[in-house]
Structure 1
Amino acid sequence: MNYFVLNPLDPLIIRSSRPFEAISDAEAAKFPPPSTIAGALRNLHGRTIGIDFNDSNKKEQIEALLDVPVTGPLAVKIPVDQSADKLEQKHILVPKPADAQYFVVDGKSTLIGLQPEKLNDDEGCDLPNDLRPLFLSQDINGKPVSGPKWWSLTDLLDWRTGKSVDFGMIKNNGWTPTKPDIRTHVERDNKTRNSVDGQIFQTTGLTMWQQPDQPQNFPNERVAILAGIKGVVSLQAMNLGGERRLAEVEACSLCPKRPDNLVQEVIKAGGLILTFLTPTIFANGWRPAWLDEGTPPGCEYLKLKLRAAAVDRWQPQSGWDLASNKPRASERMIPAGATYWFEIVEGTATEQEIEKLWMAHLCDDKQHNLNGFGLTLPMAYSWNESNIK
């Protein structure tokens, strides 16, 4: 897999499924979904190997690009005085996990996690398939608040291994975007130089900068996109998102590195927690269809039993089919950050199988996996009943 840093030179416009009248707000400033990055990188790869996308005789070659695997996208924070070739693991940004919650306690923002909890004999819930409910890991007297939606990868790894991670660390190391870039557009009559009645609309762009600590300061960190493709790319510029806005393309060696003891820790714990770093699409909504057999895609022997899940509200997903030259049908995505707790069926875990889960794509459909959906971060989680309330 060859990794690249895509550096947008202007705020990114990523279309949503809402009408134009409703898109001019902060929520419309979206990070590119995997399919957008997959299409852009495959386009670069196709042009690099000499495919003419305007030649009708090249249809088979264009369709073959769909089989080229793409991974990501993730975000990467780049200090203004640092080049992409000197980036480290701590600069990789991932979406906030769904089991992490922000609260104000005694006037201070606090990070508190959710965890599966065993019910007492006189308690019950209506969750399907005997799933365990999630409760706050500690009792608090405070109100929920908003916070950074992007974390440093190193902070997420620390969070999953039980190390101390607080709100201040998340804010300093993560990404809080600046205000969205909202622009109003009108159509002008070339003869009269006046605007045409009724021809007005707005676009909302995602500004790829870290929000400064003080309003009067200029941001000192920019944010780019980290993605990989199993193919060659030699071009150094691309169009990305709406309005054909430009982005620089720079090859890099930066990619998420697996912790040295991850495999042994998962086998020892007898369970794992999967955090999806890119949006995910399952055939059965929030529940993976591969759970019917219990074996994740790419594995042969490993059997998993779902015990709990933290999933935010679904998001619409569509796009443009480059091979067929027509819009794609809309789908429902599970937002990035979705977290699933699994128990490993005894006797099915091997080191080779656990290794396959690191940064694997675990959607039900093969094409979704090739497009970069369902990128997974596995970490150990013990289902010893003495560790669960």
Structure 2
Amino acid sequence: MKTTIRIEPLDPILNRDGRPFDTTPGATARSLDFIAPSAVAGTVRTMVGKYLSSSTVVDDSFNSESVVKAMARATIRGPLYELNGMIYYPFPQDLDLYEVDKKIIVSYRRPLAPPRACMGFLGTDRDGRYEQDLWPVAEASAQKGWKNRPAFVSAEWMHNWLLEKLTPEDWSAALTEWWENQGAGKPASQPAHFLASFARETRVHTSIDDELGVAKDKHLFDTEMLVLLDGMTLLTEINIGDQAEHWPDEPMSTLHTFGGKRRLAHSSEVKNSAVWDVPDVILKDIRPHNEPDKSNKSDHADKITHVRLVLATPAFFAKGWLPRWVDTDTLEADFPKYGVRLKLRWACIPRWQPVSGWSYSKRQEKAVRRMVSAGSVYFFEVQGDGDPAPLMEELWLTSVSDPNRRKGAFDQEDGFGLALWGTWEPASLMKRGMKNEQ
């Protein structure tokens, strides 16, 4: 059984980074700039465990063997951000944004098949690793990036971007209008397709003497929290498999704590949500590739030759930036279930995102782990005659993270590495006015 849960934070969210923190005078608990999937998964598992056992006490709920079994096998997806009925994804990293004369200029990052082996690319380390497999980026700018880059883009805009239906001019006009409205403090003429980073709020607290129950003198510390936009909610899906018989008939609606310092949030069940399904605009573009072409047009004319993967949530990969399902030597990924083989040609990856947490079993902070940032983009080229359309359809918004059970982290089950799939076209030397020979 799968069901979608909408979480509406009622307070600012403390989503701590991995730096040590206690109530030492002058200390500050700093928050990440994103909401980690593991924080959402932990909240949902605890909340649903209470709901299934009809109890508000954690110890009572998880004394039930059936509840423990259901939560241990549950798979969580999310979070997705929802505002005014629109879904928002992290802003993709295969775009460069600049501000010139109060106008936002946009350029694409696209790999370029070099006319000669190793031309224009020196590899990924001092030994030139992958210099013959990864392609160079056709266009690099010396301009400083726009510091007010949006943090989120609407699902409608992202879907069109995944299908290469947006031009730099489209991006430039929309981003310029959005930024002008932001600066003037007025609403856009239509629903905003872009959102800025979450605002932060710092609160001052005082330590409490455990024995006397009074505030300690000169023991002040700070907590930094994320403030979501008014009306913004988080969507997450929980799949409890064959434990559906335990789910009560009445839809869930409850208050529960969320994040650090036990801030309150209202959670409710969403029936028949379609936010996890492949959107029609994507299906319309890729499904014809699954069916024989009955016209006189050659099947190969419409064949998908290049696949793009965008991370909707941070991902854990055992090889750092490189997924384990990509061969280290050849950079190829084989998907026999779908009859397709992909070769990695480039990746746009910003600085890694730290993810930590709290271990209830050990009563201590979890070690900080480096995650590939949400919004990162991987460019693949289809090898052979395989059709990637079934893969793109079935793996839409599913986890591509590597298993990490040895260390007790269940990244695939907690919603890390949810994937958005699209297409791309290699940059052309001729289109950019470059010559093959200098």
1:141/1:16 CA distance change after superposition, 3 Å: closer
2:16 is matched with 15
Aligned equivalents of 1:383 and 1:31: distance in 2?
Answer: 31
Aligned equivalents of 1:372 and 1:320: distance in 2?
Answer: 17
Please tell me whether residue 70 in structure 1 is matched to residue 76 in structure 2: yes
Q: 1:229 aligns with which of 226, 229, 238?
A: 238
Q: TM-score if structure 2 supplies the norm length?
A: 0.73
Please tell me whether residue 37 in structure 1 is matched to residue 34 in structure 2: no
- On the 8 A contact 2:201/2:226 being kept in 1, the answer is yes
1:361/1:142 CA distance change after superposition, 3 Å: closer
Please tell me whether residue 131 in structure 1 is matched to residue 138 in structure 2: no
Q: 1:100 aligns with which of 79, 95, 99?
A: 95
Q: Calculate the aligned-residue CA RMSD, in Å.
A: 3.3
Please tell me whether residue 179 in structure 1 is matched to residue 185 in structure 2: no
Residue 147 of structure 1: how far off its partner (Å): 1.9
After superposition, the C-alpha distances for 1:229-257 in whole angstroms (9 at most, x for unaligned) are 11457242211001111111123325154
- On the 8 A contact 1:16/1:316 being kept in 2, the answer is yes
After superposition, the C-alpha distances for 1:246-286 in whole angstroms (9 at most, x for unaligned) are 11112332515422324247772312110000000000000
Residue 176 of structure 1: how far off its partner (Å): 1.9
Q: 1:294 aligns with which of 304, 325, 333?
A: 333
1:374 is matched with 417
Please tell me whether residue 319 in structure 1 is matched to residue 357 in structure 2: yes
Secondary structure in structure 2 of the residue aligned to 1:123? coil
Aligned equivalents of 1:42 and 1:193: distance in 2?
Answer: 33
- On the 8 A contact 1:73/1:225 being kept in 2, the answer is yes
- On the 8 A contact 1:186/1:200 being kept in 2, the answer is yes
Q: 2:305 aligns with which of 266, 270, 273?
A: 270
1:106/1:306 CA distance change after superposition, 3 Å: same
Residue 333 of structure 1: how far off its partner (Å): 0.8
1:113 is matched with 108
Q: Which amino acid aligns with 2:269?
A: A
Q: Which amino acid aligns with 1:244?
A: R
- On the 8 A contact 2:286/2:389 being kept in 1, the answer is yes
After superposition, the C-alpha distances for 1:58-113 in whole angstroms (9 at most, x for unaligned) are 478436523211111111113xxxxxxxx2xxx10111111122211123223332
Aligned equivalents of 2:343 and 2:365: distance in 1?
Answer: 37
Secondary structure in structure 1 of the residue aligned to 2:232? strand
- On the 8 A contact 1:3/1:254 being kept in 2, the answer is no
1:384/1:357 CA distance change after superposition, 3 Å: farther
1:150 is matched with 152
1:345 is matched with 383
Give 5+ residue unaligned stretches, structure 1.
79-86, 210-220
Q: TM-score if structure 1 supplies the norm length?
A: 0.81
Residue 358 of structure 1: how far off its partner (Å): 1.3
1:305 is matched with 343
1:182/1:151 CA distance change after superposition, 3 Å: same
Give 5+ residue unaligned stretches, structure 2.
180-191, 241-246, 290-301, 405-409, 433-438
1:374/1:299 CA distance change after superposition, 3 Å: farther
Aligned equivalents of 1:375 and 1:169: distance in 2?
Answer: 30
Aligned equivalents of 2:343 and 2:368: distance in 1?
Answer: 30
Secondary structure in structure 2 of the residue aligned to 1:66? helix
Q: 2:219 aligns with which of 192, 199, 202?
A: 199
With 100-109 and 249-258 compared, the bigger mean Cα shift is at 249-258
2:186 is matched with none
Aligned equivalents of 1:364 and 1:208: distance in 2?
Answer: 30
Aligned length, in residue pairs: 363
Aligned equivalents of 2:101 and 2:114: distance in 1?
Answer: 30
- On the 8 A contact 1:116/1:388 being kept in 2, the answer is no
Residue 156 of structure 1: how far off its partner (Å): 1.4
Percent identical = 26
1:324/1:69 CA distance change after superposition, 3 Å: farther
Aligned equivalents of 1:73 and 1:347: distance in 2?
Answer: 36
1:336 is matched with 374
With 199-208 and 112-121 compared, the bigger mean Cα shift is at 112-121
Secondary structure in structure 2 of the residue aligned to 1:112? strand
